[in-house]
Each structure stands twice: as C-alpha cells, then as structure tokens.
Homo-oligomer: A and B are copies of this chain.
C-alpha cells in the first residue's frame, strides 16, 4: 500500500492536453489551502473568502481561480486534511494479526477523526457537511483486504460486506466528532459495533 499523496504533490505538471501548470500557481494553491485551514479553524467556516485571501497574501480573485466556489474551497480543505489523516492508517495493512487488524483499523479511524474534531466541528456548524464517507472511500482497498483476512480467521461474521462496514464506521465517526460524544461514548460505540461485526454466538 503506497503512501497517500499530500497537497503539494497534487495537480502536478499536466493539464489535460495543455501546458504544464505554472509554478507560481501551484505555490499559491498550497498557500491558499494552508491559509484556509488556519482561518476556518479560528473563525469557523463562515469566515469570508477575503480573509483567506489576505492570510494567504493573495488577491481574492486568485482564491476564486483555484476554488471557483466557497464550498469547493471548504471541501478541498477537508479532503486535504483527511488525506493526511488517512495516510496514517495505511500502515495497519501490514499488521499480521488477521483477527485484530480490522478492529484496530476501525479504532484508529475513529481516533484520528476525533483528534481534528475542532476544525471539523467549526466547518460543520456553518454548513459544509463534511463527507467523511468520500474520504473513507480511499480506505476501501485496505478495508477489503483486512476484512477478507479477518473473515478467513473467523473473527468476523460471514455476511459483512466492506461497504456496509465503511458506511457504518463513517456514520459513527461523523457523529462522534460532535462535542456531545465523550471518550467513553466513543469507546462504547466501538464496542457495540465490534460485537455486531463478530460472527453470531462467537462473542
């Protein structure tokens, strides 16, 4: 499983058929994303695009050239963040313990999405439903693999399909990012999820 990519490596040198993307444009894109992450974390998602432009040291038109719409900017910030987070999880694929690796992965995803709760919450509070699911889709290969292994080891019920697991996990993580969910809640939610995942009568 290869390292997941980061912002600065994205939209690299080619543009369908045309010239290469100019170096300053690539630089600006990164600066804008960093500025946006900082500004939104401080002021919430209702912070103006102008504030982001100022923080990035760039004219407002430049922001709109890279992210034609505010939701797109927000989504980009989130995806960027999730990319970084999710790449941390990839390592688990190398875990040889088939029985526990899948559960570890779930717990890890939960922990990671919780850690950056503050930003996510500020984003959610003014709109921008963060599509955790979209990001989790990147985990599909890892989930497929670990689930298959866990199933062969008899650690997981036979009828559990990968997309079901991803959907459930994303539902719980999404909600777990709320302030109302304590550490204890999160732990309990995982316990119940895990027990539901196990084969019948094999707790």
Which A residues fall within an 8 A CB radius of B? Answer: 124-129, 133, 160-161, 163-164, 167-168, 170-172, 174-176, 178, 180-181, 185, 188-189, 191-197, 200-203
Contact = CB atoms under 8 A, between A and B. Distances in A.
B189 A192 contact: no
Given A127-B126, A129-B125, A194-B196, A171 B167 contact: no
Tell me how many chains of this kind the complex includes: 2
Contacts of A185: 163-164, 167
Contacts of A127: 126-129
18 contacts: A124-B129, A133-B178, A161-B188, A163-B185, A164-B185, A167-B175, A167-B180, A167-B181, A168-B172, A168-B189, A170-B175, A171-B171, A171-B172, A171-B189, A174-B174, A192-B193, A193-B196, A196-B196
B189 A200 contact: no
Contacts of A180: 133, 167
Contacts of A181: 167
Nearest to A128: B127
Given A124-B129, A127-B126, A192-B193, A171 B175 contact: yes
A161 B191 CA distance: 13
Contacts of A202: 201
A24 B178 CA distance: 39
Contacts of A201: 201-203
A157 to B, nearest CB: 8
Nearest to A192: B196
Nearest to A175: B171
A168 B192 contact: yes
Nearest to A180: B133
